[in-house]
C-alpha cells in the first residue's frame, strides 16, 4: 500500500468479470461506492450493471484498456475514487502500476511496489528464498539469456526441463522441454511469448518434477506487516499448466508437513515485507516440498479458503489498505470441513476445449446450503473472444471431502447454461475419476487420463425437446420443433450443463 488516507468512500476496480463482481460485493458490505474501469467490450456486463459508477477506459484490446496504466489511473481519478483494487490478472502484479497509483495520490489495494518486485519476479523470489534456506527445484535463474547458454544449462539440469517466464504466471510463456532436439525451438518460443504477455523476454529453467502435487498456502500480511498463513489449497488438477479444480485443505498433507510448509510460506512473505493477500506455491513430490513461486495478489481460488475458515479476504484487503486490519493473536483459525472450486469455461469439451463464444440465452445456478457462485455474466450477456473464457466459479462446502465431491457433481449436473458450450461435462468426469476421489492426483493427472476430448453423450428424445424449446425461447422464434427434428444434436449450438 502506497498511502494510508483513512477510510475509502469510493474504490475503482481495474478489472472485469467475476472478480470485479466479487470486489463490488465486498465494497457494498463495507458501505463503499465503486467505479468500474471497463473496456468497450464489457458494456452491459454484470459488473457494469452493479457498479456505482462506470468509466470506459478504452477498446476491447487489453493493451489499450485493462493493461493501460495511464488509462486506469485517469479513470479512477475521474471517477472520484481514493483507491484502486486490481483484482487478479491484468495489472494486479505490476509493480510499475502500484507505484504509479501511489504517485497519483491514490491507494493501491495490494502489496507495495517493492514487495511485488521482490516476490513477484520469479527469479528474484527464488534468490530471496535461497537466502532464507527454502528448498528450490534444481534449475537456472541466471542473467545469461542467450539460447546456447540456456541449452547448456538445461542439459546440466537434465531433461525433462521446464522453461518459464521470469515475470510470468498462469502458464503463459511456459514450455516443457523433453530432449535437446527441441530445446532451441521451445526456449525461443517461451522468450517470444514472455515478451508478448509480460513485456520481458527473460526466462528461467527448472527440473520438471513428473509426479508432483501443486500445493499452495494463502498468506496474509496485516496493516503492521505481521504475516500469517490461512492454511493450504491443493491445485494439482491442471491443464496446460492452468488450474481447473482447487480444494481446501489439501488431502495430501500430514499435519507435520502442513506445519513445515506453512512456516516456509510465512518466512518468504515476511522477507518480502508483505502486506495484504498473497499465495506461496509449492511442488510436493516424494514427501519433499520445493518453492514454486509467490503470487502477490488475490488468487482465483481464494473462495475455498474463505469457505473452510469463514473469512472474507477481499474485505480484509480493503481494511488493510485503510490501515485497519490487524491479526488477532487470540483468534485461532482452524479449517472446518472441506471446500472445492470448479472453474466454468466457455469451451467445447467434445472438441478438446476450443473456445465457445456467443449469447448466453439462459443461465441458472441451483441454490442450496454449502453452495456459492462467483460469476460475471447473466442471461442475455455475451461471451466475447477478447478475454479469458472463464464465465463462473462454482464453490461447494461440506463436512468431508467425499461429501464435497458428491455435492459438486450434483450441483454441476443441476447448473444450466444455454447459449455456449461449457466444460461442465468435462469437470464431472474429472470429479468422478478414482484418482481424484482418492486424492492421489498429480499435476500430470489431466495429461494422463484426459488428454483426448471426452465423448459427447447420446441425448434422449425428451432432452432434445427441452433443448429445442430453450433454443426457440432464446432466439425468440417458434422454430423449436423444426430444429429438434432436423438436428441429431441441438447441443451443437446450445448446451445444458449436464
Q: How far apart are CA 173 and CA 83, in angstroms?
A: 31
Q: How confident is the model at residue 478 (pLDDT cuts 50, 70, 90)?
A: very low
pTM comes to 0.89
Under 8 Å between Cβ of 174 and 142: no
Q: What is the pLDDT of residue 466?
A: 74
Task: Name which of 243-247, 433-437, 451-455 the model is least confident about.
Answer: 451-455
**Which pLDDT band holds residue 475 (cuts at 50, 70, 90)?**
low
Residue 336 annotated to the active site: no
pLDDT at 461 over 90: no
What is the C-alpha to C-alpha distance for residues 90 and 56, in angstroms, rounded to an integer? 16
Q: Write the pLDDT tens digit of every residue in 310-362.
A: 999 999 999 999 999 999 988 888 999 999 999 999 999 999 899 999 999 99
Residue 136 has pLDDT above 70, yes or no: yes
For 436-460, what is each residue's pLDDT tens digit? Answer: 999 999 999 999 999 888 888 777 7
| pLDDT tens string 400-427 | 999 999 999 999 999 999 999 999 999 9
Residues 6+ apart with CB under 8 A from 87: 13, 14, 15, 16, 19, 20, 22, 23, 297, 298
Nearest residue to 10 via CA among 80, 108, 85, 73: 80
Given the residues 16, 22, 46, 297, select the one marked as catalytic. 297
pLDDT for res 44: 84
pLDDT over 70, % of the chain: 92
Strands 10-13 and 83-85: parallel
Question: Residue 488: its pLDDT value, please?
Answer: 35
d(CA 70, CA 63): 11
Q: Is the pLDDT of residue 481 over 50?
A: no
> Cα(364)–Cα(497) distance, rounded to whole angstroms?
10
The chain-wide mean pLDDT, for the chain, equals 90
Using pLDDT thresholds of 50, 70 and 90, give the confidence band for residue 497: very low
What pLDDT does 484 receive? 39
- The alpha carbons of the chain give a radius of gyration, in whole angstroms, of 23
All three cell numbers of 69: 496504466
Q: What is the pLDDT of residue 5?
A: 56
Percentages (nearest 5) of helix, strand, coil residues in the chain: 40, 25, 40
Q: Angle, nearest 10°, between helix axes 424-432 and 401-414?
A: 150
Residue 494: the pLDDT is 34
Cβ 27 vs Cβ 15: under 8 Å: no
Do residues 337 and 308 make contact, with C-beta atoms less than 8 angstroms apart? Answer: yes
Does the pLDDT value for residue 169 go beyond 90? no
Locate 25 and state its grid cell: 460485493
Residue 126: what pLDDT? Answer: 86
Mean pLDDT lowest for which of 116-125, 283-292, 301-310? 116-125
Q: What is the pLDDT of residues 79-96, one digit of tens each?
A: 999 999 999 999 999 999
What separation in angstroms does the CA of 183 have from each of 152, 158, 196, 213, 335? 10, 12, 20, 25, 44
pLDDT number for residue 498: 28
* All residues at 6 or more sequence positions from 403 whose CB lies less than 8 Å from its CB, including other chains: 338
Q: Which three cell numbers stand for residue 105?
A: 495520490
Per-residue pLDDT reduced to its tens digit, 97-128: 999 999 999 999 999 999 999 998 888 888 88
The per-residue b/e assignment along 452-480, b for 16 or more CB within 10 angstroms, e otherwise, is eebeeeebeeeebebbbebbbebbeeeeb
The residue ranking higher by pLDDT, 131 or 69, is 69
Q: Helix, strand, or coil here: 85?
A: strand
pLDDT given for residue 486 in this prediction: 35
Amino acid at each position: 500500500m502506497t498511502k494510508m488516507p483513512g477510510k475509502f468512500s469510493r474504490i475503482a476496480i481495474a478489472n472485469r468479470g467475476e472478480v470485479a463482481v466479487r470486489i463490488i460485493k465486498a465494497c457494498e458490505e463495507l458501505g463503499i461506492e465503486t467505479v468500474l474501469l471497463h473496456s468497450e467490450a464489457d458494456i452491459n456486463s454484470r459488473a457494469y450493471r452493479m457498479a456505482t459508477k462506470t468509466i470506459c477506459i478504452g477498446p476491447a484490446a487489453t493493451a489499450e484498456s485493462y493493461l493501460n496504466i495511464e488509462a486506469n489511473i485517469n479513470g479512477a481519478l475521474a471517477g472520484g475514487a481514493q483507491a484502486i483494487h486490481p483484482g487478479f490478472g491484468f495489472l494486479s502484479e505490476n509493480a510499475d502500476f502500484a507505484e504509479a497509483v501511489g504517485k497519483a495520490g491514490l491507494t493501491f489495494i495490494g502489496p507495495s511496489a517493492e514487495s511485488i518486485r521482490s516476490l513477484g519476479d520469479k527469479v528474484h523470489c527464488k534468490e530471496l528464498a535461497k537466502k532464507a534456506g527454502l528448498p528450490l527445484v534444481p534449475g537456472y535463474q541466471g542473467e545469461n539469456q542467450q539460447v546456447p547458454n540456456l541449452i547448456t544449462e538445461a542439459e546440466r539440469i537434465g531433461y525433462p526441463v521446464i522453461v518459464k517466464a521470469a515475470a510470468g504466471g498462469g502458464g503463459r510463456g511456459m514450455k516443457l522441454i523433453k530432449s535437446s532436439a527441441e530445446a532451441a525451438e521451445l526456449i525461443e518460443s517461451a522468450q517470444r511469448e514472455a515478451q508478448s504477455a509480460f513485456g520481458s523476454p527473460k526466462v528461467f529453467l527448472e527440473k520438471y518434477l513428473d509426479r508432483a502435487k501443486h500445493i499452495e498456502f494463502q498468506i496474509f500480511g496485516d496493516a503492521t506487516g505481521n504475516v500469517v498463513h490461512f492454511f493450504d489449497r491443493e491445485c494439482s488438477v491442471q491443464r496446460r499448466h492452468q488450474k481447473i479444480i482447487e480444494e481446501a485443505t489439501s488431502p495430501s498433507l500430514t499435519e507435520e508437513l502442513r506445519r513445515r510448509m506453512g512456516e516456509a510460506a510465512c518466512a518468504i512473505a515476511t522477507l518480502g515485507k508483505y502486506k495484504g493477500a498473497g499465495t506461496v506455491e509449492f511442488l510436493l513430490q516424494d514427501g519433499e516440498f520445493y518453492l514454486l513461486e509467490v503470487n502477490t495478489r488475490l488468487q482465483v481460488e481464494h473462495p475455498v479458503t474463505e469457505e473452510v475458515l469463514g473469512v472474507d479476504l477481499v474485505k480484509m484487503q480493503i481494511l488493510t489498505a485503510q490501515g485497519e486490519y490487524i491479526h488477532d493473536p487470540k483468534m485461532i483459525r482452524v479449517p472446518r470441513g472441506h471446500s472445492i472450486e470448479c472453474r466454468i469455461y466457455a469451451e467445447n469439451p467434445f472438441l478438446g476445449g476450443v473456445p465457445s463464444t456467443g449469447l448466453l440465452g439462459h443461465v441458472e445456478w441451483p441454490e442450496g446450503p454449502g453452495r456459492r457462485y462467483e460469476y460475471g455474466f447473466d442471461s442475455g450477456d455475451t461471451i466475447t473472444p477478447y478475454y479469458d473464457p472463464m464465465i463462473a466459479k462454482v464453490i461447494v462446502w461440506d463436512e468431508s471431502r467425499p461429501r464435497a465431491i458428491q455435492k459438486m457433481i450434483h450441483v454441476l449436473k443441476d447448473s444450466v447454461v444455454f447459449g455456449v458450450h461449457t466444460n461442465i461435462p468435462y469437470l464431472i468426469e474429472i470429479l468422478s475419476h478414482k484418482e481424484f476421489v482418492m486424492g492421489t492426483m498429480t499435476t500430470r493427472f489431466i495429461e494422463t487420463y484426459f488428454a483426448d476430448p471426452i465423448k459427447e453423450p447420446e441425448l434422449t428424445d425428451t432432452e432434445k425437446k427441452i433443448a429445442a424449446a430453450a433454443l426457440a425461447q432464446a432466439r425468440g422464434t417458434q422454430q423449436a420443433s423444426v430444429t429438434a427434428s432436423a438436428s441429431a444434436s441441438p447441443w451443437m449450438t446450445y448446451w445444458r450443463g449436464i
